[in-house]
Amino acid sequence: MSTTNWAIDASHSEMQFKVKHLVITTVTGNFKEFSGTVVAGDTFENAQINFEANVDSINTNSEQRDGHLKSGDFFETEKYPKLTFTSTGFTKKSEEEYEMHGDLTIKDVTKPVTLAVEYNGIAKDPWGNVKAGFEVNGKLNRKDFGLNWNALTEAGGALVSEEVKLHANIQLVQQQA
């Protein structure tokens, strides 16, 4: 079976996360710097996917919060500058739906995760580049990766939820042989 190499087109992609704050609102953040590669056959089934994000590029629209997230209370970006994902399986569920299994490493902790992937198709841009689009969703428990900091509200609830929702819109660009 022949394979095709793809790379994330970062200028047409985004990787976001959402976390409940005070249990009443959701804070959205993203990583501004990330990259990834995919090696796949015609249907993307069993694709090999590698992804990494520069954790220091975290952005939640609050410099103070971003600084706290980069600190030892959370990501420790000076010691652990990257988060990485390596797929262990990419299974086709229907024409548009896949399930992606892989190992996510945050800080010095690697855990298996499963993400839902929606395949949006392939198109050629006006310059002749072949592109493929995907939407990725999932969730994880931040404490599983050593992101343990929290504080209690005066009512005794958590300031920051343990559950983190992940959402990414990914556009791949086919690499020339």
Side-chain-side CA neighbours of 27 within 13 Å: the count stands at 19
Residue 78, pLDDT > 60, answer: yes
Q: Are 3 and 41 in contact (CB under 8 A)?
A: yes
Identify the residue with better confidence: 151 or 20: 20
What is the pLDDT, as a whole number, of residue 54? 97
What is the pLDDT, as a whole number, of residue 153? 46
What is the pLDDT, as a whole number, of residue 102? 97
Angle among Cα 52, 12, 100 to the nearest 5 degrees reads: 50
What is the pLDDT, as a whole number, of residue 157? 47
What is the distance between the alpha carbons of residues 3 and 5, in angstroms, rounded to a whole number? 7
What is the pLDDT, as a whole number, of residue 117? 97
Residue 60, pLDDT > 80, answer: yes
At residue 150, the 3 state secondary structure works out as coil
How does residue 168 score in pLDDT terms, banded at 50, 70 and 90? very high
Nearest to 133 by CA among 109, 87, 168, 108: 168
What is the pLDDT, as a whole number, of residue 159? 61
Residue 154, pLDDT > 90, answer: no
What is the distance between the alpha carbons of residues 66 and 6, in angstroms, rounded to a whole number? 31
Q: Which CATH class is domain 4-174?
A: mainly beta
At residue 48, the 3 state secondary structure works out as strand
CB atoms within 10 A of CB 176: 7
Q: Are 166 and 16 in contact (CB under 8 A)?
A: yes
What is the distance between the alpha carbons of residues 50 and 170, in angstroms, rounded to a whole number? 13
Instruction: Output the average pLDDT for the chain.
Output: 90
What is the distance between the alpha carbons of residues 147 and 111, in angstroms, rounded to a whole number? 13
Identify the residue with better confidence: 80 or 161: 80
Structure confidence by residue, pLDDT tens digits, 103-146: 999 999 999 999 999 999 999 999 999 999 999 999 999 899 98
DSSP result, 152-172: B-TTS-BSEEEEEEEEEEEEE
Q: Which two tokens stand for residue 14?
A: 């985004």
Question: Can you give the residue ranges of every domain in the chain?
Answer: 4-174
CA distances from 69 to 32, 78, 159 (A): 14, 12, 14
117-126: b (≥16 Cβ within 10 Å) or e: bebeeeeeee
Residue 156, pLDDT > 60, answer: no
What is the pTM (predicted TM-score) of this model?
0.90
